[in-house]
Structure 1
């Protein structure tokens, strides 16, 4: 039975704790947003319409025992990040490594051979010609740096939608995953983004790399990721060939962290299969990038 008192209740004093907490949160969000905007304009002064970064995962040559022995100069994973200066948006384009591009000598080759043939300058040039935009910065990370970055944020959450089983002794990796949700460490995530043994090969792999990138951004945006920024920056500096400054990395990270899922567009370079290669659709590429940079 519910007991009801006949005594009148005292008037309760208004509780200010929740109001103050809410106010502090609102102020923190406003200050954080302003700080991010200031950081962006300090890192990227001037009136350029956009900022672009060529992101590269470097391939390695392997001994028979599976140990990496040297950089092959091949670009195993290629992405282009385009961040408009004013719009609250960003575009990440996965470029299949078998994409056919024009080289300065007039010939056409797979894009992943550019860095081995002419270093980062040639990689910049062929990708710039491919998308019709200037490439401002680059970041090429090797496999060791990749795994360390993933482990530094505590792993990433990935859902596998079909069985993935393959061992590549020459490539130095193996994978054996059934469909389901996984919290992947660095080594598992590396095998996940490198896997291409399915019907669409490199195109399916590009889609998985986009899924991984979004999952990594989620972890970087978490409190653990924020607390680990200095450690991650050190890993990037030690394992990455990049001309990005720490200030620029922080500004880009802050901008991406502030975007919702709809504002960050992840896509694969428009094109079609031409034998084992990917033939770019230049008209569709222009239609994809021009709205962000005009």
Structure 2
């Protein structure tokens, strides 16, 4: 987490020691959250099939509007098709985040937020207190504007299997406006 925080701070122009708080929702935590909410209504844009025998992992989702359980939502956010690549996966991940925001903002779920936060502790890695998590949730769910997503302008990989990429030289810092 410390390395990720340092890289994020450098990329977006934060001061030394920032960000000082973090929250990481694991895939297991995502499954737990969706299942605790009952399901999540989403509309996969296409048929998604994939099998990885080494990981013993299968993705099998139909296209169209449907109620997805936690395992299916995980499949949706993990699916990476050759044609759409990482950009299509990010779009689906953003749809899931927006869907979770809408679902959590429903009055029946708002009353359950403290219990949900406690229930999800095993699937979350954070240095935030329970009160801070609830405060952030309240601020996020109380907004009338949808969550805004942004991507970093990265150089293409130098080699086909290269995992890390550099920020494009023409990118200016900070990349996001100050609040």
TM-score, normalised to structure 1's length?
0.53
1:162–1:125 distance in 2 versus 1, CA, 3 Å? same
Quote the residue 1:162 is aligned against. 46
Quote the residue 1:48 is aligned against. none
Quote the residue 1:240 is aligned against. 124
> Is 1:271 the equivalent of 2:158?
no
Q: Tell me how far 1:271 sits from its aligned partner.
A: 2.7
- 1:5-84 to structure 2, matched below 5 A, reads none
2:119, 2:82 → 1: CA distance? 32
Q: Tell me how far 1:230 sits from its aligned partner.
A: 2.5
> Is 1:198 the equivalent of 2:65?
no
> Is 1:286 the equivalent of 2:173?
yes
Q: Name the one with the larger strand percent.
A: 1
> Is 1:129 the equivalent of 2:21?
no
Native 8 Å contact 2:11 2:173 kept in 1: no
TM-score, normalised to structure 2's length?
0.83
Native 8 Å contact 2:13 2:175 kept in 1: no
Q: Which residues of structure 2 form unaligned runs of 5+?
A: none
Answer with 1 or 2: which has the greater Rg: 1
Q: Which residues of structure 1 form unaligned runs of 5+?
A: 1-119
SS for the counterpart of 1:267 is coil
Native 8 Å contact 2:61 2:72 kept in 1: no
Q: Tell me how far 1:285 sits from its aligned partner.
A: 6.1
Q: Tell me how far 1:279 sits from its aligned partner.
A: 3.9
Native 8 Å contact 1:139 1:240 kept in 2: yes
1:195–1:258 distance in 2 versus 1, CA, 3 Å? same
- Between Structure 1 and Structure 2, how many residues are aligned? 172
1:225–1:245 distance in 2 versus 1, CA, 3 Å? same
SS for the counterpart of 2:82 is coil
1:123–1:172 distance in 2 versus 1, CA, 3 Å? farther
Bigger RCO (CA 8 Å, 6+ sep): 2
Q: Tell me how far 1:123 sits from its aligned partner.
A: 2.1
Q: Tell me how far 1:184 sits from its aligned partner.
A: 0.9
State the Cα RMSD in Å. Answer: 2.2
2:37, 2:47 → 1: CA distance? 26
1:282–1:151 distance in 2 versus 1, CA, 3 Å? farther
